[in-house]
Amino acid sequence: MREPLITSHCDTMPHIRFIILSVTYLVVLLLFPFAAGADTLILKNGNRIETSRAWEEGGLIKCRRFGAVVGYPKESVERIEHSETPDASGESSDSSFEKSETLSEDEEDLFEITSVYDGDTVTAEKYSRKIKIRLMGIDAPESARGAMPSQPYSDASKKYLQNRVLNKRVRLKVFGEDRYGRCLAEVFLGETNVNLELIRAGFAEVYQGKMEKNFDSSAYREAETEAKSLRKGMWVWEKYHISPRKWRRMDH
């Protein structure tokens, strides 16, 4: 009679250890992408952006940040400080913009918009890492907050943005961070600049405060002029319109 095959606990332990080590390695790669050496982007506004790798592509300085690929306008980058860690050829990296890395147009650049706070603020997620985004160059009507009541067209602005981007994957053109730690970015749905579309639809105005250096607002101002002339969205009552920036400062 053939004896039954018995697998001991010890026989399965190497397999279990291999699985545990593999999962741990993947988690470390996702949570600590800079562990193997890092580049630092020095922006002209003084901000320092820590990243695992930076390169020039398509007029942008791209880097791996927030668990994905993010692009900064080349004009807003002072320099790249590369780590001294030798590459595969044994040579150290330099700080030139001439090095580039070719990436396919795939989902690596995409973030999913998981929530919309109001007409100019959203949350994006990539690999379970969340970032709060303030749409660059625009200012939408204010939602109610504390003693401050909601501004006319604030709900319409928020719903417009929700319909455009909520649960959709977008690309970001990042210009830095604001004083609240929010990522300042233009949001692109395919080839559409969502920030600019909010202006065109009359659900946001051009931001009246200080903007990041090298941000070109000319297209935004042209779109606002057109929206006003056509009395779109909040411009239907242009005579009584109050800028969101002024609304925030009013004694309600």
- Cα–Cα distance between 121 and 142 in angstroms, integer? 11
CB count within 10 Å of CB 92 equals 11
Q: Residue 224 is encoded by which pair of tokens?
A: 């606002």
As beta bridge partners, residue 183 has: 133, 177
Question: Cα separation of 56 and 60, whole Å?
Answer: 6
Contact 69, 81 (CB under 8 A): no
Side-chain half-sphere CA neighbours of 250 within 13 A: 14
Which two structure tokens, joined as six digits, stand for 140? 């939408």
Nearest partner of 142 among 159, 118, 111, 113, judged by Cα: 118
**79 catalytic, yes or no?**
no
CA distances from 156 to 119, 163, 204 (A): 8, 11, 10
Catalytic residue among 79, 129, 169, 182: 182
Query: 53, 64, 65, 134: which one is catalytic?
Result: 134
Q: What CA–CA distance (Å, rounded) separates 157 from 120? A: 8
Beta strands 60-65 and 121-126, pairing class: unpaired
Tokens for 69, please give them.
């690929």
Is 182 considered catalytic here? yes
Catalytic residue among 53, 65, 142, 224: 142
Task: Name the residues annotated as catalytic.
Answer: 134, 142, 182
